[in-house]
Amino acid sequence: MSFENKEITIAHSPDSDDAFMFYALAKDKIDTKGLKVNQVLKDIQSLNQDAINGKYEVSAISFAAYPLVCDKYALMPCGASMGFKYGPMVIAKPGVKKEDLKNLTVAIPGKLTTAFLTMNMWMPGLKTVEVHFDQIPEAVRDGKVDAGLIIHEGQLTYQTMGLEKIVDLGEWWFEETGLPLPLGGNVVRKDLGADLIDHATKLLKGSIEFSLANRKDALEYALEFARDMPPELADKFVGMYVNEMTVDYGDEGRAAISRLFAEAHKRGVIKEQVKVEFVGALSGAAL
């Protein structure tokens, strides 16, 4: 089937792991069968807000935002970032303990992020303030906030600022469930129709597979988005969040997503049970 005269926009974050995933599409390395693929880069909190409005045909989102967009979007089985015994961290200056947090202010990257959802399950009711994700470590270091919830590359660089980890939420989640922590995924708008949804999903999966098979070239492209990280650190970060489970998160990944929403509902962090719809398996039993 040809998709001439059709186009879609894929929105994703300006981070090295997303850039690595979308390298083949950005550089025309795979056959799109005539489909024009545009890319828009925004921070994850903005992407979550845009998805609520159904702005883009395909978008990266936080899994935490999925309940707010599931009327318009289905989850793609590829492109997910999952932390296996690692994930977002709560960090602070030396000497700050877990029990201190109840009296402190924690900088968060956004209330729609999975990091915030998970922190709420770990320790509900903390006082928070929203700070752009890449400014959180500096805000903690400079004393503008007492602690910070860090995502992305900050997980690998916070120690260089003299900061210490209070909890790794991916470790905590694994101890609780034995499952990887689903952080971000890709969704596709359900109104595109079955053929275009299927094609867009195959393109994303193909792009990820191409990057993994051509790691050196894809990583070189991703380094343009690595915010001055040394190549070896960027390589480590990409490896954490782009792997075989990113190609297709399979049964374990689906179970992790289901458990995330089930636990959040059980603990009162989200009000309603979530009906999950996956591309290719749109039965979506209530969880």
Q: Which domains does the chain have, with CATH numbers?
A: 7-82+182-266 (3.40.190.10), 89-177 (3.40.190.10)
What is the pLDDT confidence band of residue 197, given thresholds at 50, 70 and 90? very high
What pLDDT does residue 187 have?
A: 97
With beta carbons less than 8 A apart as the criterion, state whether 105 and 213 touch: no
CA atoms within 13 A on the CB side of 196: 19
User: What integer pLDDT is reported at residue 286 of this predicted model?
Assistant: 30
Per-residue confidence at 169, pLDDT binned at 50, 70, 90?
very high
Sign of the C-alpha dihedral computed for residues 236, 233, 17 and 184 taken in this order = positive
Residues 6+ apart with CB under 8 A from 245: 80, 82, 84, 180, 252, 253
So what's the pLDDT on residue 180? 96
pLDDT in tens, 10-51: 999 888 889 999 999 999 999 999 999 999 999 888 999 999
pLDDT of residue 35: 96
Return the closest-CA partner of residue 218 out of 207, 233, 229, 204: 207
Segment 76-133, tens digit of pLDDT: 999 999 999 999 999 999 999 999 999 999 999 999 999 999 999 999 999 999 999 8
CA distance linking residue 96 with residue 106, whole number of Å? 12
**E strand spans, 14-140:** 36-41, 58-62, 73-75, 81-83, 89-92, 105-108, 127-130
- Measured over all CA atoms, what is the biggest interatomic distance in the chain, rounded to whole angstroms? 61
Q: How far is CA 80 from the centre of its chain?
A: 7
Q: What local confidence, expressed as pLDDT, does residue 1 receive?
A: 78
Given pLDDT bands bounded at 50, 70 and 90, which one contains residue 156?
confident
Q: What is the mean pLDDT of residues 168-175?
A: 97
Mean pLDDT within 255-272: 94
Q: Catalytic residue positions?
A: 152
Please, what is the end-to-end C-alpha distance for the chain in angstroms?
36
**What average pLDDT does the structure give for the chain?**
92
pLDDT of 65 strictly over 80:
yes
CB atoms within 10 A of CB 282: 13
pLDDT greater than 80 at residue 238: yes
Buried/exposed 21-34: b ≥16 CB within 10 Å, e otherwise: bbbbbeeeebebee
- Output the pLDDT for position 4: 86
pLDDT of residue 58: 98
Predicted confidence (pLDDT) at residue 281 exceeds the cutoff of 80: no
Question: How is residue 167 written in tokens?
Answer: 């909890």
Q: Is the pLDDT of residue 267 over 70?
A: yes
Give the pLDDT band of residue 173 (cuts 50, 70, 90). very high
- Is the pLDDT confidence value at 166 over 80? yes
Q: Report the predicted TM-score, pTM, of the whole model to 2 decimal places.
A: 0.90
The Cα–Cα gap between 13 and 60 comes to: 7
Q: Which pLDDT score, from 0 to 100, does residue 284 have?
A: 34
pLDDT attached to residue 282: 40
Please tell me the distance from the alpha carbon of residue 163 to that of residue 158, in angstroms, as a whole number. Answer: 6
